[in-house]
Amino acid sequence: MKLSARNVLTGTVDSVAEGAVNAEVAVRLAGGEKLQAIITENSLKGLHLKAGDKVFAVIKASSVILAVE
């Protein structure tokens, strides 16, 4: 697999919460950090994701916005 994205993190699916349109996938990264991804139900079904599956989290963004109160 070759990608232009520079941020590729490996992890394991912790849980999947299905909704009407989207699914929330919790991924545990190698260092123990947790990442949440929102994907479409079609993508969930196409990837056949379930708890315990090994996955790659590919992050490609032109900006990251942080805020504080």
Q: What is the pLDDT of residues 24-57, one digit of tens each?
A: 999 999 899 999 999 999 999 999 999 999 999 9
CA distance 3 to 67: 30
Domain limits, the chain: 7-59
Whole-number pLDDT of residue 42: 94
DSSP annotation of 47: H
Q: Which tokens is 25 given?
A: 């996938």
The fold for domain 7-59 equals: OB fold (Dihydrolipoamide Acetyltransferase, E2P) (2.40.50)
pLDDT of 66 higher than 80: no
CA distance 39 to 55: 13
CA distance 19 to 68: 30
